[in-house]
A and B are shown apart, each in its own frame.
Chain A
Amino acid sequence: MPAPEPEAPTTAPTRAKDHSPWNWLLFLPIVVPLIPAFFNGDAPRIFGFPRYYWLQLAWILLGVTTTTLVYQMTKKRGGR
């Protein structure tokens, strides 16, 4: 997308600090929890929880793992 850049500033060096490929990993916890085919079933049950419930709760771990990983990796790369 062409974003117009009026009076382009001279402070460009800090640009792209956030443009880490690791950020793409964040799409995993956005997309996976939204696919019902994975979780919409009863078997197997764990501690009495049908799959529908335990698997959706398990996606929380997926979210935590990816955000933590991306945070740690981008922190180092920022090189501040």
Chain B
Amino acid sequence: MWRDHLTEIIVFSLLFLLVSAMGFVAARWRRPKDMAHLDEWGLGGRSFGGWITWFLVGGDLYTAYTFVAVPALMFGAGAAGFFAVPYTIVVYPLVFLVLIRLWSVSHRHGFVTPADFVRTRFDSPVLALLIAITGIVATMPYIALQLVGIEAVLKTMGVTGESTVARHLPIIIAFAILAAYTYQSGLRAPALIAFVKDSLIYIVILVAVIYLPYKLGGWGDIFDAADAKFQASPSPNDGILLNGNNQLQYVTLAFGSALALFLYPHSITGVLASRNRDVIKRNMSALPAYSLLLGLIALLGYMAIAAGVKPLPGASAGSVDNNTIVPLLFDKQFPDWFAGVAYAAIGIGALVPAAIMSIAAANLFTRNIYKEYLKRDASPAQEANVSKITSLVVKVGAVACIVFLDPQFSIDLQLIGGVIILQTLPAVALGLYTRWFHRTALIAGWVAGMGLGMWMLYQVASPTKKHFGGSAFPLEKFGFDTPKTIYVGIVAVLVNLAVAALLTLILRAAKAPEGVDGTTPDDYFADEGDPRVTPGVERDADSAREPVA
């Protein structure tokens, strides 16, 4: 019952109201001359310095779902769940090498989305449209998942009801507030709120990793308790260490997730909003502080085992919702008021990424669908306006996903999201280095990778379901005689690359038209203070040609 959790609910609500107020005030923070421009609303004026970028990108990549789902995975499967640590170590050097070039070329040409870049680089509106749609489709379930994070907290506090509407009312209200201040303040809102969110999370986790082991008998006991649990379970693939069969999956999942992470539109939005190249480079050294945090959060899963936490029942009868173990652990071990702070950290932790993701998806729609196909001569003010409205639509869609569909469906979609966003790697990430690939070959590679990825995900079974049971694909389905598994995304993107490379050679030989590269090698090193080729949207003044549809 919710009455038993009154202190927690009051603390949670107060902190929630505080950040909502901050979200509205954010419109005045670092106030621009003219908010009616996509650079201002959607990228915070491209002016964020080191600290803001650190909080913004950190708040963006480490979502509420991460905080809830990673320990849940550790709780259920053990060592395999720790992939989040290598994954977030590997991602920063990659950004250091790759996304910095995207920052430069976007700064010069006024690109707002990765699809803008692809459009100019490969002179192909079709390829850009595919990239944009991939980004939007991959982001939508990610936003919905943030709600799963809040819901796990609300469920633990007993804020739940019998009817569909009563159960979801708190979330609908929370998202309505979020939608309102994102509409008004744009990227400035999550940037400002991220300060509160991350400070709360750091406090909660520091307290948790010092106080909980002390209460539970020390780290050694915690690991031994986890070991005992996995020894007793009948499943062969759990344990506090990896075994011979899931190492390949572990490594490919960590690497594939790292590649996917920086291709997601919302991470690119965070990077493009920074002031100069130095800010990004310095941040790549400072952001791993969050990886340490994530590693410690992951271990909360083992603490829950040692503390004897039993997860709350899931949506369908007989199932359990492992996502509730962290909130339950806090409820059981912390005093009420501090559990309230911890819940607020998770709840607010959902709002920051949800805001950035909806902005990123809205920018993709505005720049690469609305402006490209619906209104070619849209003014910057119209662009900003369309983005604001789209961000509302995106959030309504995310809430609808949670209210009308089984949350499990969003989790499946998010799994698919990681695999499909990886298929933009050849055009976006390799495109930053080389224009060797032919635009038509890139489209074909995308189709091949997408098709194969979907088929493989469909084939993966889990103990509870026949299809879409995870991302670990058993190699025996390819005809290999082995019990080893591999991450679907890696296989799909390799096939994508192979198809793109092969077709490029063929199209070259056939002398198929390649279009004109709108960028110059020099663009990839431009830094702050560098004159823009054209401020805003129209570009390629020197090549003097009309964009072809």
Q: Interface residues, chain A, CB within 8 Å of chain B?
A: 1-9, 11-12, 14-18, 23, 26-27, 29-30, 33-36, 40-42, 45, 47-50, 52-53, 56-57, 59-60, 62-64, 66-68, 70-71, 74-75, 80
Contacts and interface: CB of A to CB of B under 8 A. Distances in A.
Given A1-B433, A33-B254, A41-B241, A48 B520 contact: no
Given A5-B521, A53-B299, A40 B241 contact: yes
Given A3-B521, A48-B222, A64-B285, A59 B89 contact: yes
Given A33-B89, A57-B292, 12 more contacts: A5-B521, A15-B522, A16-B525, A30-B93, A49-B223, A50-B241, A52-B242, A60-B291, A60-B295, A62-B89, A71-B96, A71-B285
Interface of B: 79, 82, 85-86, 89-90, 92-94, 96-97, 100-101, 218-223, 240-242, 247, 250-251, 254-255, 278, 281-282, 284-285, 288, 291-292, 295, 299, 433-436, 514, 516-517, 520-522, 524-525, 527, 542-543
A7 B92 CA distance: 34
A50 B92 contact: no
B241 A29 contact: no
B219 A60 contact: no
Nearest to B286: A64
Contacts of A5: 517, 520-521
Contacts of B281: 67, 71, 74-75
B436 A52 contact: no
Given A48-B221, A52-B82, A1 B96 contact: no
A33 B92 CA distance: 13
A33 B284 CA distance: 16
14 contacts: A4-B514, A6-B543, A14-B522, A29-B89, A36-B242, A41-B241, A48-B218, A57-B292, A66-B93, A67-B284, A67-B288, A71-B96, A71-B285, A75-B278
A34 B251 contact: yes
A52 B82 CA distance: 9
Contact of B79 (A7, A16, A52): A52
Contacts, number: 136
Nearest to B242: A40
A3 B242 contact: no
Most B C-beta atoms less than 10 A away, residue of A11, A42, A48: A48
A16 B247 CA distance: 39
A7 B90 contact: no
B430 to A, nearest CB: 9
B96 A50 contact: no
Q: Which of A18, A36, A49 has most B Cβ within 10 Å?
A: A36
A33 B91 CA distance: 11
Q: Name the 4 nearest CB pairs between A and B, nearest first.
A: A48-B220, A48-B219, A33-B86, A26-B93
Contacts of B221: 48
A41 to B, nearest CB: 7
Contacts of B517: 4-6
Nearest to A70: B96
B246 to A, nearest CB: 10
Given A36-B242, A68-B285, A30 B90 contact: yes
A64 B255 CA distance: 18
B522 A52 contact: no
A34 B90 contact: yes
A56 to B, nearest CB: 5
Contact of B240 (A36, A52, A59): A52
A36 B484 CA distance: 15
A50 B100 CA distance: 37
Contacts of B240: 42, 50, 52
Contacts of A2: 436
B220 A45 contact: yes
Contacts of A27: 93
A80 B435 CA distance: 28
Nearest to A31: B90
B503 to A, nearest CB: 16
Contacts of A48: 218-223
Contacts of B220: 45, 48
Contact of B96 (A7, A67, A80): A67
Most chain A CB inside 10 Å of its own CB: which residue of B223, B240, B251, B292: B223
Contacts of B542: 7
A57 B85 contact: yes
